Structure 1
Amino acid sequence: MKNHLRSFRESLLKARRAGCAARLLAACGALALALHAPAGRAQQAPDAVTKAVQGYLERETRGLPGQVRITVSPLDARNRLPTCAALVPFLPAGTRAWGQISVGVRCDSPVAWTAYLQAHVAVMGDHLVTKRPLRAAQIVGPEDVDLRQGDLTALPDNTLTDASQAVGHHTRYAIAAGMPLRGEMLRVPPAVLQGQSVRVISAGPGFRVSSEGQALNNASPGEPVRVRMANGQVVTGTARTGGNVEIAF
């Protein structure tokens, strides 16, 4: 410690004589680093931290579709962190193992410290793109879409990955050729049309009754629909495929 202080005083005198603020800051930084690393304590090996983060992300990405590629930026070899007995990687709150992320590594023993490493998780898989320009309100057919390989983490959220998610749906607006298809670009076709005769299924504990009625509004699957029954009563249920309306009790 005496040697560190002596070196600091000499650097401080040189900085004052030269009137150089940069040299003064450098001298202060050198002292801070020296005081942070206690004498005789081993430095944390960067490879161990990188390996811990790599293994953690591999576990976090199990089950993701496509081929997962993980790249971890190593810990600075000049770090002043003491050797840790047990490294605990973690993702900050609200972060998932997807795209460019920052991964934390916590140490509790023998000295508590936390470091952060940059990592990139790429997920190579198929996604839907338009083969030709689509008009607004056009019904998407099998010939209108194609599958393309790419990094799913680099695409907008809700990008579709299977033709069945788009074929038969209406476009909400015009879409250019070669565009990745997202769920919000499409409108699910109505399961029930206004004026259509529908089957109303009333169900509850121990009973299930089916009757006929007429839909009073359009509704996609899962949306509410009002139905006029044969006796003139108007009820509200949930639209289902096949012209069915469910009323749960």
Structure 2
Amino acid sequence: MEHIVVFTGAGISAESGLKTFRGDDGLWEGYRVEDVATPEAWQRNPAQVQAFYNVRRKSVLAAQPNAAHLALAALQRTKPVTIITQNIDDLHERAGSTGVVHLHGLITKSQSNINPTLTYPITGSEIAMGERCELGSPLRPHVVWFGEPVPAMGEAIRICRQASVFLIVGTSLQVYPAAGLVEEVPAQTKIYVIDPHASQLPIARAANYIDQQATVGVPNVVEELMA
């Protein structure tokens, strides 16, 4: 049975104006990743971490899905498609995609500091310091930080093992364990890699390399798959 699996990274959201996770200078929007994206940073300076994600959340809410997000949503309306994303934004959902697997969480939600399975929608763009979950623990962003387990990884592996077509879009395949998902795809699966530097990515598999931005390459591949 046909099952198209799409694995997206920061590159697809960058074309909607969202900055990539780690820039060429090793910083994320002016911060060291270690200062805003680790459990240690949260323990050391929770107010700074909370403020950082509140600002980033505003950027996410102001951004709009682009042609790549919309093309994938259109494909899902005609064929069995599952999207697995490393991105913490909700642009896939706002484009119309459903059942998106967020490996690294979703910035539009909060979670309990002591039980990550307790998540809550955020009204507006901010989590205020002092907001607490039903267990009395402080709320933090629903984001998987460096050094934390990736709860959705098992589900993502299962999905990848069922793929008949696998699209890799806008990811450098440098962040593990997510980058290892390509190794879970069956040997006979047709793979497309869509990224401005697609042909330079470390994939030890035969693939169709499309050295284009997501907003160009994804609609073209979707048109091919829908033919």
Q: Work out whether the TM-score is over 0.5.
A: no
Between 1 and 2, higher relative CO (CA 8 Å, sep ≥ 6) is seen in 2
TM-score normalised according to structure 1 size: 0.18
Higher helix share: 2
* Structure with larger Rg: 1
